[in-house]
């Protein structure tokens, strides 16, 4: 992103709304995209809703691992509900305007929920680490009170930071163009419309991204390094297979989410392009939440059993 000097006041326009271009460059595919994303949204809400429900109702799933999985599924519903309904409305009405306040609110919600997902995935990795590497201390360490504190901390820790970052970005003056070449109000496309020198804002984005994305990711890698080391020392092949199966689902989700998020927010600005940003954003805001229930349920016999009980009822 180029650092522009602030233009004269005559060239500035007080913007009261933006236009989300989303997929306006393919007008012949609008209805196809509407149908596709509507089906995807329904699948995400229903599948994650079912996992959230069974982790709350099934007695066999009242363990820390499934407590965090229930939180994660509810988070995915919230996460996708911030972006997809607005995109569906834009595709249906072809009116792509969004007010300045609504745009700032959407950005803030995405950032807060994204932060929660980073922390929650790290907490889930810590839970697996304690269960496999310290099984004797696990019931005492990961008691119900601790689980609630870890989950609550994951949900609220990013709120003050991301509110501050959103306020900082929307305090900037914006140039005449109000066209956001994206399907939601994300940081890179909004910053492109800002006038003046945005270097400080870009540095703040990098610093926050490093702290909120990279640090939890490194903690997860350390946890899984110790987990794998412990699993390889197990004498029973059955025990090793069960331990790997338990961790592989979570590790798959970690790679999908953190991989796309790191590429989006930590790659050099010179390599940014609207099309690549849209694809990456679709990946971690739509594709990952859609596949998470499949990843966790298809590889987990306890979840499948609980799901059968629910369906039989």
> H/E/C letters for each residue in the chain?
CCCCCCCCHHHCCCCCEEEECCCCCCHHHHHHHHHHHHHHHHHHHHHHHHHHHHHHHCHHHCCHHHHHHHHHHHHHHHHHHHHHHHHHHHHHHCCCEEEHHHHHHHHHHHHHHHHHHHHHHHHHHHHHHHHHHCCCCHHHHCCHHHHHHHHHHHHHCCHHHHHHHHHHHHCCCECCCCEECCCCCCHHHHHCCECCCCHHHHHHHHHHHHHHHHHHHHHHHHHHHHHHHHHHCCCCHHHHHHHHHHHHHHHHHHHHHHHHHHHHHHCCHHHCCHHHHHHHHHHHHHHHHHHHHHHHHHCCHHHHHHHHHHHHC
Residue 279 confidence (pLDDT): 79
Residue 12 confidence (pLDDT): 45
- Pick the closest to residue 72 from 153, 155, 129, 158 (CA basis): 155
User: What's the pLDDT tens digit per position in 27-51?
Assistant: 888 899 999 999 999 999 999 999 9
- State the CATH class of domain 17-312: mainly alpha
Question: Which residue stretches of the chain have pLDDT < 70?
Answer: 1-15, 176, 268-272, 298-299, 313
Residue 6 confidence (pLDDT): 46
Residue 1 confidence (pLDDT): 44
Residue 5 confidence (pLDDT): 45
- CA dist 83 and 205 (Å) reads 21
Residue 95 confidence (pLDDT): 87
Residue 278 confidence (pLDDT): 81
Residue 43 confidence (pLDDT): 94
- Environment class of 269 (CB within 10 Å of its CB; exposed 0-12, middle 13-18, buried 19+): middle
Residue 51 confidence (pLDDT): 92
What is the CB neighbour count within 10 angstroms for residue 112? Answer: 23
User: What's the pLDDT tens digit per position in 228-267?
Assistant: 888 888 777 777 777 777 777 778 888 888 887 777 777 7
Output Rg (C-alpha) for the chain, integer angstroms. Answer: 21
- CA dist 19 and 273 (Å) reads 18
């Amino acid at each position: 992103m180029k650092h522009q000097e602030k233009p004269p006041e005559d060239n500035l326009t007080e913007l009261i709304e933006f236009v989300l271009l989303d997929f306006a460059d393919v007008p012949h595919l609008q209805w196809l995209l509407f149908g596709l994303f509507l089906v995807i949204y329904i699948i995400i809400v229903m599948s994650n809703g079912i996992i959230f429900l069974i982790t709350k109702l099934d007695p066999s799933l009242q363990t820390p691992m499934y407590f965090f999985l229930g939180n994660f599924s509810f988070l995915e519903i919230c996460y996708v509900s911030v972006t997809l309904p607005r995109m569906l409305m834009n595709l249906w009405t072809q009116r792509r305007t969004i007010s300045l306040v609504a745009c700032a609110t959407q950005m803030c919600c995405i950032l807060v929920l994204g932060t929660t997902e980073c922390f929650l995935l790290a907490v889930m990795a810590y839970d697996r680490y304690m269960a496999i590497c310290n099984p004797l201390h696990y019931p005492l360490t990961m008691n119900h009170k601790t689980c609630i504190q870890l989950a609550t901390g994951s949900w609220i820790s990013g709120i003050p930071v991301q509110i501050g970052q959103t306020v900082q970005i929307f305090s900037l003056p914006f140039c005449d163009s109000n066209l956001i070449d994206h399907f939601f109000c994300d940081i890179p496309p909004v910053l492109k419309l800002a006038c003046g020198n945005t270097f400080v804002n870009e540095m703040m984005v990098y610093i926050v991204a490093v702290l909120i994305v990279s640090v939890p990711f490194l903690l997860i890698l350390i946890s899984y390094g110790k987990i794998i080391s412990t699993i390889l020392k197990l004498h029973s092949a059955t025990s090793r297979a069960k331990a790997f199966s338990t961790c592989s689902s979570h590790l798959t989700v970690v790679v999908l989410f953190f991989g796309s998020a790191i590429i989006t927010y930590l790659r050099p600005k010179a390599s940014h392009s609207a099309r690549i940003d849209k694809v990456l954003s679709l990946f971690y805001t739509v594709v990952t939440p859609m596949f998470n229930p499949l990843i966790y349920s298809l590889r987990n016999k306890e979840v499948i059993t609980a799901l059968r009980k629910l369906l039989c009822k």
